Amino acid sequence: LAKTTQPISMDSYEGQEVNITCSHNNIATNDYITWYQQFPSQGPRFIIQGYKTKVTNEVASLFIPADRKSSTLSLPRVSLSDTAVYYCLVGDINQGGKLIFGQGTELSVKP
């Protein structure tokens, strides 16, 4: 399983765009990149998943460069309710295998 590295914490203000980058230098060919969000006192919740280039949904965008050794979660115009911990995971979904959560990035959005 590919190991991931993320910043421990980030601060932002309401209305700003937030970009959280995750490093996964030993990502394998069949690995996908998935991001989860966790609010205090709740279990993590799936945000977005991708393999390469760019993926966008109603919540976020995921940018993956050609070498796939990193990925960037982009949250447009954050609000106070986006304050949470964000986890980057890498794993082979085609094998139905387990994913391992790292320490995550604690995002604090201020007014």
Partner 1 sequence: GAGVSQSPSNKVTEKGKDVELRCDPISGHTALYWYRQRLGQGLEFLIYFQGNSAPDKSGLPSDRFSAERTGESVSTLTIQRTQQEDSAVYLCASSLVLDTQYFGPGTRLTVL
Q: How far is the CB of 15 from partner 1 (least distance, A)?
A: 28
Q: How far is the CB of 50 from partner 1 (least distance, A)?
A: 13
Per-position x/- string for 28-67, each x denoting binding to partner 1 as judged by CB under 8 A, each - no binding: ----x-x-x----xxxxxx--x------------------
6 burial level (CB within 10 Å; 0-12, 13-18, 19+): buried
Per-position x/- string for 79-108, each x denoting binding to partner 1 as judged by CB under 8 A, each - no binding: ------x-x---x-x--xxxxxxxxx----
SS3 108: strand
Q: How far is the CB of 44 from partner 1 (least distance, A)?
A: 5
Structure tokens at 85: 């911990």
Angle at alpha carbon of residue 91, lines to 107 and 32, rounded to 5°? 80
**Identity of the residue, 9 or 25, whose beta carbon is nearer to partner 1 in the bound complex:** 9
User: Which positions touch partner 1 (CB under 8 A)?
Assistant: 32, 34, 36, 41-46, 49, 85, 87, 91, 93, 96-104
